[in-house]
Amino acid sequence: MAIFLFLVLVAVVLGLIGAVAHGLGYLLAIGVVVLVVDIAFFAVRWSRRGRRRPVR
Q: Is residue 7 situated within a structural domain? A: yes
pLDDT at 16: 87
Q: Is residue 54 situated within a structural domain? A: no
For the chain, residues with pLDDT lower than 50 are none
Q: For residue 41, give its domain range.
A: 2-49
Structural domains counted in the chain: 1
pLDDT at 42: 86
pTM: 0.69
Q: Is residue 55 situated within a structural domain? A: no
Cβ atoms 20, 8 nearer than 8 A: no
